[in-house]
Amino acid sequence: MIDRPTTLAALAAALASAEAAAPVPAVGSSPLDRPVVLRAGGTDLQERLGSERRAGRRLPTIVDVGGVEPLCGIHPVPGGGVLLGAATTVMVLAESAVVAAWPALAAAAGGLATPQIRAVATMGGNLLQATRCPYVRNLDVSCWRTGGIGCAARDGVHDRGVVIDLGPCVAPHPSTLAAALLAHEATIVVAGAEGQEEWSLSAVLGDGTDATVDHQLDGDEVLVGARLPAPWPDERGAYVRAAGRQLAEWPLVEAVVRLAVGDVITRAAVAVGGVAAVPLRLPEVEAALVGHAPTAAVVAAAAAAATARCTPLPQTGYKVPLLVGTVQSALEEALGEALR
Amino acid sequence: MPEGTDVRTAEVDGRAVSVGHLDDHVTALEVLRSTGCTGPKDVCGGGVCGACTIQLDGTPVASCLLPAVALAGRTVTTVHGLSAAGPHPVQRAFAAADALQCGFCTPGFVTAAAAFVDRWRAEHGDVAPPRDAIGAALAGNLCRCGAYDAIHRAVAAACAGEHDDPAPLVGARHDAAPKVRGDAVYTADVRLDGMLEGVVVRATAPHLTDVALDLSVAAEMPDVVVAPMLAEGDPTVRFVGQVVAAVAAPTLDLAAQAAAMVAVLGAEAPATIGLDAAMAPDAALVFADRAARKGAFGGGEQQAIPARWHGNVRGPVRLGWRGGTAERRITRARSASDPLLVETTFETAGQVHTALEPHVAVADVRADGTVRLWASTQAVGDLARAVAARLEVPVGGVEVIAEHVGGGFGGKLSMTDEVVAACLLSRVAGCPVRVRWSRAEELSAAGYRPPTRSRISLLAAVDGSLAALRLDVESDGGTSIGASAAAQSLLLYGRTPRVVRDLDVVSHAAPGCAFRAPGGPPMAWALEQAVDEAAHRLGTDPLELRRRWDGNERRHALYDWAGALPAWRDRGPVGSSSGRLRRGIGAAMSSWMYFVDPGTEVTCEVRDGRVVVTCSTQDMGTGTRTVLANAAAAVLGIDPEDVDVEIGRSSPSHGPTSGGSRTAASVFPTTTAATEALRDEVVAVAAGELGLAEARPIDGGIAHRDGVVPWKEALAAAPGVRGAATRGADLARRVVPFGDSQAGRGLTGAVHLCEVEVDTRLGRTRVLRAWAGLAVGRVLAEGPARSQVEGALVQGIGYALFEERAVDPHTGAVVSASLEDYRIPGMADTPEIEVHFHTEGWEHVPGGGVGIGEVAAVGVAAAVGNAVHHATGWRPTVAPVTPARLLEGLGS
């Protein structure tokens, strides 16, 4: 829509009027079957709309959120943290001097997608994007996510699927920033009919057992931003993405690591993506680090703890060693010269 | 936003474009292209390939995913705007470095690269950036021709300020200028007045019998025309994605909505998918009887040699010499557990051509039976004949136009469904119709190099000779036949006793088709790795072993060159690298036939004082235009830029198909002869017109008793003068007919070396450096020749490491139907490449040089496989060597 709402109130009004005006489509044949869909950068949505158009499907009404003031910008909050507006682009996250205080987040943002996508894609859109499973995106296939029953990938090709099998769908969560924000213990600001609330990231993304939705927000709820707590003193961070090609590929496994190191490792946060229906913190790895000297042996043992929850599918057995290797590499990179 | 900016318009290359009225679903790319700004290309529709890149307020973005309404109040620079005030330095750099081939990705590349170059120079001054910085900046752009190493060189040179001189845009490639400016017109850019947009209806089930179509609802929609596409007399669906009908309407959206109303009715039957299922005793038959088998797509890998069918298996086609001897030696060695018997099963995945310009056709079938057809094709002449036959109209009335072709690689050789659909719909509608595959269609039902499973037995003797070879290859080409991988091995290793067998295994899956060097890369993946393994077991240098087993003298020169490279000479033993990152180097050799089209005709005429060379052929990025221009320019001693080349049009005169590496050797000497005829005629005419005594041609003009008249002046005095020539066959005894071409005397050769770094922890293999030595005779067009070799390397690296056409095991539906799921190499995956040409040995061919495209492609993946073995001590048998396979292989 060319007249973009600029306030949350205007956005709510635009949503309500679009909902009222929209024809009710057949339920459950596509992820776009909500009558009204919010659009930020559009880098995920436009591709799916394009597929729907080529299939001759009825399209939802679009409401653009990119101009809504509270969603824009990076705002300091008392205590040393920031509020990252949902419409902040991935490129800004990767390059901003403010975000550089959280090196793992900046690295994760810079490591995803391509320069052209990072310039447009937003933090909010990245968190709430639809699953990348090629079966889901094939409009001729019906599954849990598109109102049907079953998972064609589980019975078919799932070599890029999950290795920690939480639910009926085998597609890993696509959001790199979700893994990063999880490691940063960010809370998510959601605006709804009742005003603004703070949700945990897990509340936004669910626990991976419900394959019928991409996230837990209702149609009238808007992701406003992410509240990032202050960085740790002397925070170190790293992001490692394992994939076949060097760049521009969805990760097979990705790891976001934050560490604070004195004589021993004093704090650790490790989150991984590409392995489960939602990004996961790995407290078992963190526990094996905190209180220990940053030696190669400690790092290797901690990374090996990442296998604890693995339940590989027939085609994802390789992700068990890959998860260990990715976590280990991220830990080593975060430690840098502090590795003893 | 500055005050006074109209929030409903965008500034596009300096002009105002209204976006306020647009539908929310429309993309920026659609709006730009509909206003005639066709530099940005529509390739993947998913923001993966960057061919649609524009600068939005100076920042590169993917316009295919950008909502058009997001342009409001913004400044857009496309490839056209980049050169508004003279070419951007990066455009000059691309042209100079030949950083392009087909050119379809080039507008997006230069637009992204220009932003990077400008920013880099502002921040760092005029210095070349590190290679990784260029790779990261251009990670959002893909080039299927594989021009990446040249793009690296071009961007580095532009950053270093080497192309700031505002000289005219001149390139190593005759059509570089329009391609880097984004002005080159491809079929995808053709838009005719009153044109309808067509789409096809595809089967969504793998096997239906007694199929009936209900087109009635679609046909009754206003402005919609329909055409059934099921083969007459065979109402069967044999794979998901099979075209059953076509629909056209004034807009693509309307056509798609109408297509959704077509009902495909039929009885669901059991389907069989994949090699093992298709060969099972109780497998559902793909072709029930002899009549149905005639419908097997024979344009598979190659012309199918006649063979018997057994269920879903066609063949084996058994070839070789002294086969009994080979079998006996292998059997004996096996029972003796001879360590010099290498017996392994190798597999390769399906590889999709992925030309960035999709299959697209614009047909204008008129009531009088004449047809004008714009098509993205490798064969304007063949296609005109095929269309005439299909529509039952005189061939003289069919004109096929393909001025620029955005890549082919073998996938655009025949009359494919988009051409048929466009023609049938146009005939019904009475107006032009365009049919263009989406990227999903392109990646799932437009052909591929079939997956293979090869069992090889290679026996070395204790004295180090090659004693016997057996190679059985099963080809998994869906409904297509014509496997040729095993047969390709006949071109290697002389007269060693051997028996080789090709089997076509058909299943309910989309058909494969010819792909650059059909059969070659899967054959080499098995054979050249087996040779490497034999060398390892014999304790012999793998290049030395090949020299011993390979009698080809041209390749011996390449072994000399490769063996002397420090990277090869100084390599350590197999598996001697340790730690997380392990380096290794591998070699493989290639051989291909020399094909020529003896019927090739070239005319050369003087028009507006310039030399115009015409041939009924096409340039899909291989450099055919440049070959023609170079040949003509060499005869006259003028700059190739001063020669105009008219190709990309079918005509009554015959020209070569761009396939089988036949084009260069067909057109180069013919152009030479035609230009010589023109030259002599011009000398005669100009001498008369200008009163020249003792006139004779020299480089640059006509020498006469009193001086020299430059060609420019002489040509002006000889308007309309023509020269023509026909290629003719070579004067050699061993010439084998091959369609309308011939396999001439001699085999081409190549040797590839690849140096890899294997990350044994993350399972990633990176090719760091690569060397290609080619024995193809004289180089007929330097820039494009080198580019072809580099591109073949990049595609081979993709085949070895990344590319895998994934198919659902139950339905045969293609799972890798986007450029995110079908992964071709990118800038950062490209090694530094060194290309060496051994130019001797082709003196018996007029012009002294032959084609390159296929011999440059055969052995690349095998060289990567051998390098992985050298680095790790583990031999990869299944391509691509993904992290999954590498980690599983190293772990076991």
Chains A and B form CB pairs within 8 A to the count of 194
B76: closest CA among B134, B43, B28, B25?
B28
Helix (H, G, I), strand (E, B) or coil at B591: strand
pLDDT of residue B7: 66
Report the half-sphere exposure of B576 (CA within 13 A, side-chain side).
6
Where would I find the H helices in B224-347?
Answer: 252-259, 275-279, 290-293, 323-335
pLDDT of the residue at B3 = 43
Contacts with B352 (C-beta within 8 Å, 6 or more apart), sequence order: B442, B443, B446, B447, B448, B449, B803, B805, B816, B822
CA distance A36 to A23: 10
B231 or A200: whose pLDDT is higher? Answer: A200
A152/B808 touch (CB, cutoff 8 Å), yes or no = yes
pLDDT in tens, B47-95: 999 999 999 999 999 999 999 999 999 999 999 999 888 999 999 999 9
For residue A78, the distance in angstroms to the closest alpha carbon of chain B comes to 31
Q: What is the C-alpha radius of gyration for chain A, rounded to an integer number of angstroms? A: 20
Flag if A47 and B46 touch (Cβ within 8 Å): yes
SS (H, E, C) B487-545: HHHHHCCCCCCEEEEEEEECCCCCCCCCCCCCCHHHHHHHHHHHHHHHHHHHCCCHHHH
What is the least distance, in Å, from the CA of A119 to any CA of chain B?
6
State the pLDDT at residue A2. 61
Identify the three-state secondary structure at position B334.
helix
**Above 0.95 for ipTM, yes or no?**
yes
* Mean pLDDT, residues B708-717 taken together: 96
Q: Are strands B498-505 and B466-475 parallel, antiparallel or unpaired?
A: parallel
Contact B50 A116 (CB under 8 A): yes
Query: Tell me: the pLDDT tens digits for A180-225?
Result: 999 999 999 999 988 999 999 999 999 999 999 999 999 889 999 9
Which amino acid makes up residue B267? Answer: A
In this complex, do A140 and B240 lie within 8 Å of one another by their Cβ atoms? yes
Query: Rounded to an integer, what distance in angstroms lies between the CA atom of residue A16 and that of residue B323?
Result: 78
Angle at CA A38, nearest 5°, toward A32 and A44? 65
User: Which whole number is the average pLDDT over B820-832?
Assistant: 98
Distance, CA of A183 to CA of A10 (rounded, Å):
33
Chain A residues with beta carbon closer than 8 angstroms to that of B252: 53-54
Residue of chain B minimizing CA distance to A38: B24
Give the pLDDT score at B741: 82
Contact A156 B810 (CB under 8 A): yes
Across B720-740, average pLDDT: 81
Q: Which of B402, B410, B482, B474 is CA-nearest to residue B446? A: B410
- Mean pLDDT, chain B, integer: 95
H or E element in which residue B24 lies: none
Residue B734: predicted pLDDT: 57
Q: CA nearest B805 in A: which residue?
A: A157
pLDDT reading at B353 higher than 70:
yes
Contact B766 A246 (CB under 8 A): yes
The pLDDT score that the predictor gives to residue B296 is 79
B301 has a pLDDT exceeding 50: no
Contact A116 B53 (CB under 8 A): yes
pLDDT for B302: 54
Q: Which residues of B touch A137 (CB under 8 A)?
A: 818
The letter for the amino acid at B571 is R
B539-549 as b/e: b if 16+ CB within 10 A: eebbbebbbbb
| Residue A1 binned pLDDT confidence (cut-offs 50, 70, 90) | low
Count CA atoms within 13 Å of residue B91 on its CB side. 28
B73 within 8 A of B12, measured Cβ to Cβ: no
Q: CB neighbours of B353 closer than 8 A, spacing ≥ 6?
A: B144, B407, B408, B409, B410, B411, B446, B447, B448, B515
Nearest Cβ partner of A321 from B27, B817, B887? B887
Q: How confident is the model at residue A24 (pLDDT cuts 50, 70, 90)?
A: low
- Cβ neighbors of B477 (< 8 A, separation 6 or more) are B300, B301, B450, B483, B504, B505, B506, B511, B512
Residues A79, A229: contact at Cβ < 8 Å? yes
Residue A37 and residue A63 in contact, taking contact as beta carbons nearer than 8 Å: yes
Q: pLDDT tens digits for B420-438?
A: 999 999 999 999 999 999 9
Lowest mean pLDDT segment, chosen from B174-183, B226-235, B807-816, B850-859: B226-235
Model confidence at A274, pLDDT cuts 50, 70, 90, reads very high
